[in-house]
Amino acid sequence: MADSELRWHPLLREWVAVATQRQGRPQLPEDWCPFCPGSGRVPNDYDVYLYPNDFPAFSFENPSFSPEPGLLQTTGAKGACDVVLYSPNHRLLPSQLAVEQWGKVIDLWAARTAELFSRSEVRYVSVFENAGVAIGVTMPHPHGQIYAFPFIPPLIQRELDSALLYHREQSGCLYCRILEGEMEDGRRLVASNDSFVAFLPFFGRFPSEMQICARRHMGTLPELNEAERRDLASLLKIVREKYDNLYGFPMPLMMLLRQSPAAGEHPYFHFHIDFLPIQRSATKLKYLASVESGHGTFLNDTRAEEQAALLRRAEPKT
């Protein structure tokens, strides 16, 4: 029997990944890190490294994803869960990574995305990072993750639907129009360079929610050219530094790279990165409680214009 399976939620019409082996994750000795050189689990001299998740919710070894009709449907959680190690240095925060190191991380993201796109079982590749103890991260070693899904996750599908609808009705790109508006307005801009712009979307759901949007209309990580990779590395560093300097400690956040699905044509989609922090002030966390988790309606305790001004001023310390 596979260690994980997908169960259909007929009320919400979406998949739930049931992966009970994750409960058996060992309590690791405090002075031992599997991601550190010398652990025996990673090469002794790596720079950036793709580490297969020890307790994957999705795996290519699971039975195939082939849903059958029925109220209590289950199917195989085929896919992949990788861990991306950003650096061999255990204590380095993502905000402390050199721009050059971020460049290597981006190259790894793009190469792994291309590899996963080439597999017919994969419908969506998500590159993301959970950062901070408050988010539930147990391992301080700087790392992110890559999930390959055998279906398009519901929030991605909703975005695709919105972008397609806008494209049909207005014959343009929803993201390009939003970016144009933000640049014209200026109040929510945080930082930018030749290839990317970082701003707090007018409609952000999380406190200090930020988006890095590509200036060029393109859809996926492998499409980034050399100059764009360099510019993205540089802006990622600036954004992470600003977040960590906003309240004077590492910002607990989720970083999500949004790209087009693995197969099919999606010319109306536009590559961007969402940052979802959960710190709503220096001393308070934002919890997803009944209104958010039970209704899908977010209460945001901050205003994008004010937070953007604070983030513009939160200059790197070095």
Q: Does 141 bind Zn ion (CB under 5 A)?
A: yes
**Candidate list 41, 90, 158, 187; residue touching Zn ion; CB under 5 A:** 90
Measured from the Cβ of residue 67, the count of other Cβ atoms closer than 10 Å reads 14
Closer of 85 and 116 to Zn ion (Cβ): 85
Quick one: which segment of 155-163, 173-181, 259-267, 306-314 binds Zn ion (CB under 5 A)?
A: 173-181
Closer of 108 and 311 to Zn ion (Cβ): 108
Q: Does 272 bind Zn ion (CB under 5 A)?
A: no
Give the span between the Cα atoms of 104 and 84, in whole angstroms. Answer: 11
Q: Does 173 bind Zn ion (CB under 5 A)?
A: yes
Task: Name the packing angle between helices 174-185 and 154-170 (round to 10°).
Answer: 80
Quick one: which segment of 46-54, 87-95, 191-199, 204-212 binds Zn ion (CB under 5 A)?
A: 87-95
Quick one: which segment of 56-64, 96-104, 171-179, 305-313 binds Zn ion (CB under 5 A)?
A: 171-179
User: Closest approach of Cβ 217 to Zn ion, in Å?
Assistant: 4
Whole-Å CA distances, 116 to 27, 45, 59, 60, 221: 31, 25, 12, 11, 12
Q: Does 215 bind Zn ion (CB under 5 A)?
A: no
Q: Does 217 bind Zn ion (CB under 5 A)?
A: yes
Closer of 46 and 247 to Zn ion (Cβ): 46
Give the span between the Cα atoms of 61 and 127, in whole angstroms. Answer: 21
Quick one: which segment of 15-23, 83-91, 145-153, 235-243 binds Zn ion (CB under 5 A)?
A: 83-91
Q: Does 134 bind Zn ion (CB under 5 A)?
A: no
**Candidate list 176, 256, 309, 310; residue touching Zn ion; CB under 5 A:** 176
Three-state SS annotation for the chain? CCCEEEEEECCCCEEEEEEHHHHHCCCCCCCCCCCCCCCCCCCCCCCCEEEECCCCCCCCCCCCCCCCCCCCCEEECCCEEEEEECCCCCCCCHHHCCHHHHHHHHHHHHHHHHHHHCCCCCCEEEEEEEECHHHCCCCCCCEEEEEEECCCCHHHHHHHHHHHHHHHHHCCCHHHHHHHHHHHHCCCEEEECCCEEEECCCCCCCCCCEEEEECCCCCCHHHCCHHHHHHHHHHHHHHHHHHHHHCCCCCCEEEEEECCCCCCCCCCCCCEEEEEECECCCCCECCCCHHHHHHCCCCCCCCHHHHHHHHHHCCCCC
User: Closest approach of Cβ 90 to Zn ion, in Å?
Assistant: 3
Q: Does 15 bind Zn ion (CB under 5 A)?
A: no
User: Closest approach of Cβ 128 to Zn ion, in Å?
Assistant: 20
Closer of 35 and 147 to Zn ion (Cβ): 35
Q: Does 237 bind Zn ion (CB under 5 A)?
A: no
Interface with Zn ion in residues 27-66 (CB under 5 A): 33, 35-36
- Known catalytic residues? 143
| Size of site (CB under 5 A) for Zn ion | 10
**Candidate list 229, 270, 272, 286; residue touching Zn ion; CB under 5 A:** 270
Closer of 36 and 152 to Zn ion (Cβ): 36
Closer of 10 and 181 to Zn ion (Cβ): 181
Binding region for Zn ion (CB under 5 A): 33, 35-36, 90, 141, 173, 175-176, 217, 270
